[in-house]
Each structure stands twice: as structure tokens, then as C-alpha cells.
Amino acid sequence: MINPDCIFCRIASKDIQANLVAETELSLAFWDISPRQPIHILVIPKNHHANIAELTMNSPEQLVDLMQLGTQIALEKSTGSFRLSFNTGEEAGQTVFHAHGHITSRTPKDQIA
Ligand code: AMP
Ligand code: ZN
């Protein structure tokens, strides 16, 4: 399900451009527009779910797909130290209400000599 008022739904449907990293049938990963670490990539379900709790409760198959894609990218792009985190709710810092994981790392693989 796609919500036309949701920016991440519009990225998922390729209506708005993002700097894409990888995708599966169910999930999409793209670089965060305002990176806070050397690696800062977002991974989202292509269907609209307001946050990770709703995705977990309502669509476990999509949750597993998202976690697998997020983990695969984190392992590929970093030396193995990374975070995969989900702000859930306004008070926890969530600003975009379409579930998304932040893949962040201070140790990109390609910066190691
Ligand atoms: P959160 O605060 O957890 O809801 O995270 C939302 C994230 O989405 C922030 O890190 C933003 O920088 C990022 N963001 C917002 N709009 C875009 C966009 N059009 N393309 C890529 N990242 C975005
Ligand atoms: Zn959405």
C-alpha cells in the first residue's frame, strides 16, 4: 500500500529520486539526505507502515526482508561495526512516519588502507 502524502512511499514508487543503494521486491535502501556518520543509509519497506512496531506486528515477512537487506548492506559497506536503528514515535526522534532503519557506521570499508 502506498500513501501519496508520504515522502518515503514516493521514493519507493520512484516518484521522487533518491540515491539508491539496493533493493529487493519488498524493501529499498538509499543514502540519507543529511548523513550524520560516514555511512548513513536508510532501509525501508516498499509498502507503507508508520513505524517499525507496526511493521513487526502486521508484516513479519517484510520485516525479515528489511532486516536482511539492512544487515547485508551494513556488512558490505562497513568493517563490521555498525548500528541498525529505528526511531519510533515523535519523542524518540522519528520525523518521517514511514518505517525506516538507519544503517550507520563510523568505519567504512573503503577508507581502510
Ligand atoms: P527519523 O528522524 O528517524 O524519522 O529519520 C528520517 C531520516 O530521513 C533523516 O535522517 C533524514 O535526513 C532522512 N530523509 C528525509 N528526507 C529524505 C530524502 N528525501 N532522502 C533521503 N533521506 C531523507
Ligand atoms: Zn509511506
User: Global pTM?
Assistant: 0.96
Element housing 12 (H / E): helix 7-12
- For residue 97, the ligand 1 atom closest to its alpha carbon is 4
Atom 18 of ligand 1: nearest residue by CA position:
33
Tell me the β-bridge partners of 56: none
When pLDDT is averaged across residues 70-99 and rounded to a whole number, the result is 97
Q: What percent of the chain is predicted at pLDDT more than 70?
A: 96
Average pLDDT of the chain to the nearest whole number? 95
Cell of 63: 520485516
In this structure, the chain runs to a length of 113
**Which residues does 31 contact at the CB level (< 8 Å), separation at least 6?**
18, 19, 21, 40, 41, 42
When pLDDT is averaged across residues 14-22 and rounded to a whole number, the result is 97
Which residues contact ligand 1 via a Cβ below 6 A? 7, 18, 30, 32-34, 42, 87, 93-96
- For residue 87, the ligand 1 atom closest to its alpha carbon is 3
Residue 112 has pLDDT above 60, yes or no: no
pLDDT in tens, 28-81: 999 999 999 999 999 999 999 999 999 999 999 999 999 999 999 999 999 999
Cell of 12: 519507493
Cell of 31: 543514502
**Which residues does 88 contact at the CB level (< 8 Å), separation at least 6?**
51, 52, 53, 94
When pLDDT is averaged across residues 94-107 and rounded to a whole number, the result is 98
Distance, CA of 77 to CA of 58 (rounded, Å): 30
Single-letter amino acid code for the residue at 4:
P
When pLDDT is averaged across residues 79-103 and rounded to a whole number, the result is 97
Ligand 1 mutation target, pool 10, 13, 42, most atoms within 8 A of CB: 42
* Whether 102 is catalytic: no
Catalytic residue among 48, 49, 100, 102: 100
Distance, CA of 15 to CA of 2 (rounded, Å): 11
